[in-house]
Chain A
Amino acid sequence: DQQVKQNSPSLSVQEGRISILNCDYTNSMFDYFLWYKKYPAEGPTFLISISSIKDKNEDGRFTVFLNKSAKHLSLHIVPSQPGDSAVYFCAASSYNFNKFYFGSGTKLNVKP
């Protein structure tokens, strides 16, 4: 059973608008969460992370929100750009980082 779920396989957004990618997890022991971005024929690259002691982390156009009570996190991209078109994976780990559990990914398409 997947412990990290991304229920939207794809998302299409107009350039300049907000993209919101969602992720749910089931294990309350997770306390560190990351988002990775993957272009075709490349490996995933780290985008942004958040620990469970925070509920928000920003890095430029990217903001991750964490709702621990709902076991839900989301990635906001504002404004969206065509170069953001990629597959986004969320991942979760306990604080010792021994294992990461990945969601199935959401393919974002930002239309010019």
Chain B
Amino acid sequence: DVKVTQSSRYLVKRTGEKVFLECVQDMDHENMFWYRQDPGLGLRLIYFSYDVKMKEKGDIPEGYSVSREKKERFSLILESASTNQTSMYLCASRVSGHLNTGELFFGEGSRLTVL
């Protein structure tokens, strides 16, 4: 079974703090994604990565950056956390190429509260 592990289930941070959300997958997937989930808005794509050191902006990248130094790990960084970044953050991965069925495998989520 594919396992996508997010390092922190719950975090509480203060405005202006730098926040790191870590995600690790164990299935050698090339593609990895960061979404945030907010009530009434569904899942919105923040950033995605096709491969190591490659990244592309999603629909709401403002206030976020990412890092993908190793294939299995994709980190989301909030340089200076703000209260409007309070949300549930979901990491996902999927295989690419001819094996790609479109299916995303999600982690359990990291609920971030910014005070």
| Cα–Cα, bound, A8→B43 (Å) | 16
Cross-interface CB contact of A2 among B42, B94, B101, B108, cutoff 8 Å: B42
Chain A positions within 8 Å of B104 at CB level = 36, 44, 46, 100
| Cα–Cα, bound, A41→B102 (Å) | 23
- Are B41 and A104 in contact, with the CB atoms below 8 A? yes
Q: Quick one: given A4-B42, A9-B40, A44-B90, are A99 and B58 in contact (CB under 8 Å)?
A: yes
Chain B positions within 8 Å of A45 at CB level = 106
- Are A102 and B43 in contact, with the CB atoms below 8 A? yes
CB-nearest residue of chain B relative to A49? Answer: B102
| Cα–Cα, bound, A12→B90 (Å) | 27
Number of A-B contacts (CB under 8 A): 55
- Are A41 and B108 in contact, with the CB atoms below 8 A? yes
CB-nearest residue of chain B relative to A104? Answer: B42
Does A93 touch B at the CB level, under 8 Å?
A: yes
- Are B100 and A97 in contact, with the CB atoms below 8 A? yes
Chain B positions within 8 Å of A4 at CB level = 42
Q: Mark B1-14, 1 if CB is under 8 A from A, else 0.
A: 00010000100000
- Are B42 and A43 in contact, with the CB atoms below 8 A? no
Q: Mark A56-83, 1 if CB is under 8 A from B, else 0.
A: 0000000000000000000000000000
- Are A103 and B103 in contact, with the CB atoms below 8 A? no
CB-nearest residue of chain A relative to B90? Answer: A43
Query: Which residues does A use to contact B, with CB under 8 Å?
Result: 2, 4, 6, 9, 32, 34, 36, 41-46, 49, 89, 91, 93, 97, 99-100, 102-105
User: Closest 8 interchain pairs by CB?
Assistant: A43-B106, A102-B43, A104-B42, A102-B42, A97-B102, A46-B103, A43-B108, A44-B106
